[in-house]
Structure formats: structure tokens, C-alpha cells
Amino acid sequence: TKISTTFHWKYRNRDQDIEAFLKNNGGLVPKRHSYSDIKKMTSSFKENLGKGGYGSVYKGKLPDGRLVAVKLLNTSKGNGQEFINEVASISRTSHVNVVTLLGFCLEGGKRALIYEFMPNGSLEKFIYEQNITEDNRQHLTVQDLYQIAIGIARGLEYLHLGCNTRILHFDIKPHNILLDDQFCPKISDFGLAKLCGRTDSMVSMLEARGTIGYIAPEVFCRYIGCVSHKSDVYSYGMMILEMGGGKKNLDVGVHHTSEIYFPQWIYEHIEQGNIEPELLGLVSKEETEIARKMIVVGLWCIQTNPKDRPSISKVKEMLESTQPLQIPPKP
């Protein structure tokens, strides 16, 4: 039929675009696998690790015994750009705080990406009150979350400054931070990433990208400022506020409408100096001081004007500093 012919043509053209990209970037791309390899390493997609708009992730094992996570992309969505973004960006990286792409598959409309396996899953399940189980709570203290926050900042600094090409992630959030067996954080999911020159102070974008609750205001409202590496800093700030405060920024869990927006609610408490352990569900003053530092850094990161936000290098410096941090203007 005409519809199936159009559908087939569309996919063939998409795959031709991707093949052209792979050919032009041959030196960078990781190992290519056949679809039968993918089926074999996942035991015919036996263990599902998670599902999203992009597709599903399955646990697998390489012939050498290494465990992997195989992301099978949903080919009915997008034009293959997410696949290209992932391969183009992660292939250029090598950092302890960025997930490693080990291989890929592109065959007859089937697209898959093969990553190192992260046994502790995503950060998301460890920081939201409704997701915390007794097992999780035993594993991650505020000190642990603080070290994870520093690790993520190091990974983001590497993406912004450490590669030959600057990589802007555009989807920093707890769900996209994976934890290895030692709870070392690794930035993942580069489907929305953009590559730009290291000296570029801004990037052009045709459409807003990111996740509601973490998107910097300039990404969808251009008169606020230019889209740049500071847009990732904003997303990082929203995430670290959650890590310090233990509440998701879209669901504070309070009843007064004036307190619904978590950053505003926590800012008022910081400004008045009444951050008590009970407010954050903590026990000791030491823990509360660590959480307060994360919250103050987060509030600097989410300043509305990108120019008022620190660079990710400055963020890392602030987190590692032993000096008291200045409270930022109200975001």
C-alpha cells in the first residue's frame, strides 16, 4: 500500500542519514553489532531495566562476561537524531563521571545502544521521599549525596570544558544520573545533547528541549537570555536542590499554595537562617550543614538570568570550599 511504502521510504532515508553520519565519523564510533548479537546478549530481551518515550533498556552480557545495559530505541519517534546525538557525543568522551558507550546496532530500522551496566540504577530512586526504601536509606547518607553532587559537577565540567568539542547535555536530572557499584555517579542519556565549539558562548536551538522542572527558562523563553552551558547549570541546580532537600521540585508535599514551589519555599528558610534538621528530615547539625551547602549552591545555579549563574567549574569550587557561601539573590 501507499502508506507502508511511505513508511518504508521514510525509515530507509533516516537510516541512510545515520549511515552517512557513521561513515563520516568512523574513527570515533564504538563497535557495531548486528541485531542478532543484541538478541543474544540480552537473552532475547529477557530482563527489562526500564522504559521511556525513547524505548526500553534491557540487561545484557557481552561475550567477555561484562554486564551491559542495552537501550532499544523506539524508531517510530523522532528522525534518528537522538541516536546520532548519543553516538556523536558519548563517543567523544572518556571520564569517570560520564557513562561509557560500548557499542551500537543499526540494522533494518532497528536501533540499539550498548552501555556499561550500572548496578545501582538511577539517582532518582534514592532522593525522592516516596521512592526511598529501607535499603536505599541505608546506602545513601547526605554525605554520600554530597559526594555524588561533586562527581556530577566534575562530569559536567568535563563535558563543557574537557573535550575537544563542548557538549551541552540539555537533560540533566536525577533519572539521567546512573550509579555504579560504588555509587560513583555517571551522566547518561545524551539524546538531547548538542555539540558546539569550545569558545561558543551561545548555541542556536529550533525548539525547546529538556524535562519540565529542570529546563532553564531561556531554553523556552529567549528574551531571558542566551541558551548556553549555563542552561545545564540551571538543570544541575534544580537537581542538587532536590538532593539537599529530598523533595521533588514539582511535588513539595506541603499544603499551603505559597509553599508549592520548592526553590522559593527553601530559599525563604535559608534567608531566615532557620534550616533545622527536622525541616529536611535529617538528624544531626553536621548533616544539615552539608545539605544547606548543596541548597545554597543550587539556588545560585537557578538564577533566572543565565549571566547570574556560576559556571560549572565555579559550582564545583563552591561545593568543595570550606568557606561559608554567600546567599544568592532570590531566584
Helix (H) or strand (E) holding 147: helix 142-157
Query: Cell 543474544 sits at which residue?
Result: 40
Binding residue per annotation — 39?
Answer: no
Question: In angstroms, what CA-CA distances link 205 with 170, 192, 209, 220, 228?
Answer: 11, 11, 9, 10, 10
In the set 15, 171, 189, 232, the catalytic residue is 171
Helix (H) or strand (E) holding 10: helix 2-24
HEC sequence for 277-299: HHHHCCCCHHHHHHHHHHHHHHH
Q: Is 171 a catalytic residue?
A: yes
Say if residue 189 is exposed, middle or buried (CB neighbours under 10 Å; 0-12, 13-18, 19+).
buried
CA distance 294 to 240: 6
Strands (E) in 157-228, as ranges, are 166-168, 177-179, 185-187, 194-196
Q: And the C-alpha cell for 302?
A: 537557578
Region label for 119, one of left (φ > 0), alpha (ψ between -120 and 50) or beta (otherwise): alpha
What count of Cα atoms within 13 Å lies in the side-chain half-sphere of residue 51?
Answer: 3
Q: And the C-alpha cell for 62?
A: 557481552
CA distance 313 to 97: 15
Q: Which residues are annotated as a binding site for ATP?
A: 71
Q: Which residues are catalytic?
A: 171
Q: Which residues are annotated as a binding site?
A: 71
